[in-house]
């Protein structure tokens, strides 16, 4: 049973660089890149466990996420990415069991969520960035190791009598593959349900020809020719790919903030983002500043701006702040979203970016903005947006308000009264996990209304915003302070468990996709299983792993 008092741990930081990797080796040779998993077992993110057999913890996945992103921005010439292991006879043993067993419940769930997001980003690189990932399993791929392979477009397995793919979580640990494995098995690879059932309860996994016959891998090759066969197929993929004229990549500069502490408040100050945590009220504020420099209207200017381009820099900073919130501030229940700047400047930058849709860098920036906004959607915190004088909730920044569970816009006739506006990016470039835009999701009952807003190019005042359903409430000057304060205090007083469930149910209306299935099942099932005594009790399977005694189960089905 976990203590009600969270452990005091060193904060997790998400900024890294290939020169600082402990666990991955990244090699780029023309159009083919190699990502070699060579986990340094003596460098876990936190002490108390050893990363044996290429098992991974959050630190390993932080490096993988960084590598996937850098390949997209810094090496656009790459067409195929080979993912393999630097450890003989073992591709990856999955998430480190001792790390999971020693972690708080919140950390386990957020760890699974981050690994899910990373693998989705990898899949997006294959689908939209022309960088196809190939898993070369030169050994056993177990649990999360096979889940990493499933995120690749093609899987090749070494046929040597011992290399296998497996999902041992249910038979050995009484939990589930936490990184979308079951969903990818039947939705993505379309493995037959009966075969998937056998596979998911077979701790030793499936080898050789049977793994190919069941659809678990795409092909198997003898060890003596494995490397040559994989290379041949990567070369063939590159040769068959359409030509790309994408020029040199751009370097991604570090976005680490300046951090300060003032009593109960912790402040992280980035160039365009300010993230403030109030530990006493269990609330946080995320302020995103709009652009102040001219928009990049052509590819040359975009490359000159590089990683200082406003969209790229601001949303990378926002992403870092969201991860900081998830992992380092577990008691914060409410995130208040704010903006400052000129809404017309935001829209000008949006339109310039939309106009560069045919440019590889413009495309990658738009995809990154969309990924960060989905990370916001999937963050298990209540989200309120407050639209105050001087705010710039327009275009891509208005997506923050659309992501919020509710929004408050000050009703004022003053010159600096808040105004909101839409841009081309609100109509398809920044989809949610359900495949719809946030406007389409908001107006499921009135799809024609969402479509009609495309033609509205003026800014909305508070009356028009309320009339069009774009904000929730519009208190006036007299009521604003009390209405917002009471709403914040009330929300912070409610059960975090009930709110997490309520918000996850309400945020993703509309169609179901593989992505929504992965996160819904993670929230509902893995979240529940990770708290059950059969997994984490004193005699649960996860607790007893590695001991000679057998776990003890409560045999009642619920």
User: Nearest-CA neighbor of 322 among 10, 14, 16?
Assistant: 14
Q: What pLDDT does 558 receive? A: 75
Three-state SS across 111-177? Answer: HHHHHHHHHHHHHHHHHHCCCEEEEEECEEEECHHHHHHHHCCEEEEEECCCCEEECCHHHHHCCCC
User: Mean pLDDT over residues 369-390, rounded?
Assistant: 97
What CATH topology corresponds to 20-240?
2-enoyl-CoA Hydratase; Chain A, domain 1 (3.90.226)
Burial bucket for residue 245 (CB in 10 Å: 0-12, 13-18, 19+): exposed
Tell whether the model's pLDDT for residue 414 goes beyond 50.
yes
Interval 132-176: pLDDT, tens: 999 999 999 999 999 999 999 999 999 999 999 999 999 998 888
Q: What pLDDT does 2 receive? A: 40
Tell whether the model's pLDDT for residue 4 goes beyond 50.
no
Q: What pLDDT band is residue 521 in, cutting at 50, 70 and 90? A: confident
Alpha-helical regions (H) of 259-342: 299-305, 310-328
Q: Where are the domains of the chain?
A: 20-240, 258-497, 500-544
User: Mean pLDDT over residues 478-491, rounded?
Assistant: 97
Interval 67-102: pLDDT, tens: 999 999 999 999 999 999 999 899 999 999 999 888
Provide the CATH number for the domain formed by 258-497 in this structure: 3.90.226.10
What gap in Å lies between CA 209 and CA 212, rounded to an integer? Answer: 5
Q: What pLDDT band is residue 3 in, cutting at 50, 70 and 90? A: very low
Query: Does the pTM of the predicted model rise above 0.85?
Result: yes
Instruction: Check if 20-240 and 258-497 are the same fold.
Output: yes
Q: What pLDDT band is residue 5 in, cutting at 50, 70 and 90? A: very low
What gap in Å lies between CA 526 and CA 509, rounded to an integer? Answer: 21
Q: What pairs with residue 409 in β-bridges?
A: 387
484 φ/ψ angles, rounded to the nearest 5 degrees: -70, -45
Q: What pLDDT does 501 receive? A: 87
Least confident interval from 169-183, 209-223, 250-264, 284-298: 169-183
What gap in Å lies between CA 480 and CA 411, rounded to an integer? Answer: 9
What gap in Å lies between CA 545 and CA 441, rounded to an integer? Answer: 43
What's CA 380's distance to the chain center, in Å?
Answer: 12
87 φ/ψ angles, rounded to the nearest 5 degrees: -110, 125
């Amino acid at each position: 049973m976990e203590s009600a008092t969270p452990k005091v741990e060193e904060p997790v930081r998400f900024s890294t660089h290939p020169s600082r990797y402990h666990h991955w080796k990244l090699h780029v040779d023309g159009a083919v890149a190699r990502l070699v998993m060579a986990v340094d077992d003596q460098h876990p993110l936190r002490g108390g466990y050893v990363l044996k057999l290429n098992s991974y913890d959050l630190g390993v996945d932080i490096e993988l996420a960084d590598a996937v992103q850098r390949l997209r921005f810094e090496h656009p010439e790459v067409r195929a990415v080979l993912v393999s292991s630097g450890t003989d006879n073992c591709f990856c043993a999955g998430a480190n069991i001792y790390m999971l067993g020693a972690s708080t419940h919140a950390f386990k769930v957020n760890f699974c969520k981050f690994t899910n997001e990373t693998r989705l980003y990898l899949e997006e690189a294959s689908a939209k960035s022309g960088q196809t990932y190939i898993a070369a399993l030169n050994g056993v791929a177990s649990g999360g190791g096979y889940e990493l392979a499933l995120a690749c477009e093609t899987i090749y397995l070494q046929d040597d009598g011992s290399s296998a793919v497996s999902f041992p979580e249910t038979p050995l640990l009484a939990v589930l593959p936490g990184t979308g494995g079951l969903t990818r098995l039947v939705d993505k690879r379309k493995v037959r349900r009966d075969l998937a059932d056998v596979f998911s309860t077979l701790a030793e996994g499936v080898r050789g020809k049977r793994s190919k016959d069941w659809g678990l891998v795409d092909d198997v090759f003898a060890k003596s020719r494995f490397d040559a066969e994989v290379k041949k197929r990567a070369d063939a993929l590159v040769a068959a790919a359409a030509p790309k004229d994408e020029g040199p990549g751009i370097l991604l500069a570090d976005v680490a903030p300046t951090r300060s502490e003032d009593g109960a408040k912790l402040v992280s100050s980035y160039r365009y983002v300010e993230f403030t945590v109030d530990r006493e009220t269990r609330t946080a504020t995320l302020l995103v500043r709009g652009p102040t420099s001219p928009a990049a209207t052509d590819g040359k200017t975009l490359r000159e701006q590089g990683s200082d381009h406003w969209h790229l820099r601001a949303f990378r900073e926002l992403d870092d702040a969201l991860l900081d919130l998830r992992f380092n501030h577990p008691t914060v229940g409410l995130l208040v979203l704010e903006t400052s700047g000129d809404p017309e400047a935001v829209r000008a930058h949006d339109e310039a970016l939309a106009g560069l849709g045919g440019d590889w860098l413009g495309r990658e920036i738009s995809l990154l903005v969309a990924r960060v906004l989905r990370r916001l959607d999937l963050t298990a915190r209540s989200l309120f947006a407050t639209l105050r004088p001087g705010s710039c909730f327009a275009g891509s920044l208005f997506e923050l308000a659309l992501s919020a569970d509710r929004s408050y816009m000050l009703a004022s006739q003053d010159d600096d009264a808040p105004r909101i506006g839409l841009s081309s990016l609100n109509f398809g470039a920044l989809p949610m996990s359900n495949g719809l835009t946030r406007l389409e999701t908001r107006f499921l009952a009135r799809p024609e209304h969402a479509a009609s807003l495309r033609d509205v190019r003026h800014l909305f005042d508070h009356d028009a915003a309320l009339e069009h359903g774009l904000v929730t409430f519009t208190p006036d000057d007299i009521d604003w302070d009390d209405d917002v304060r009471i709403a914040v205090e009330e929300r912070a007083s409610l059960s975090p468990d009930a709110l997490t469930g309520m918000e996850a149910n309400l945020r993703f209306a509309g169609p179901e996709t593989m992505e929504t299935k992965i996160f819904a099942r993670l929230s509902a099932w893995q979240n529940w299983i990770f708290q059950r005594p059969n997994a984490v009790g004193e005699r649960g399977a996860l607790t007893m792993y590695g001991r000679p005694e057998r776990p003890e189960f409560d045999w009642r089905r619920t």
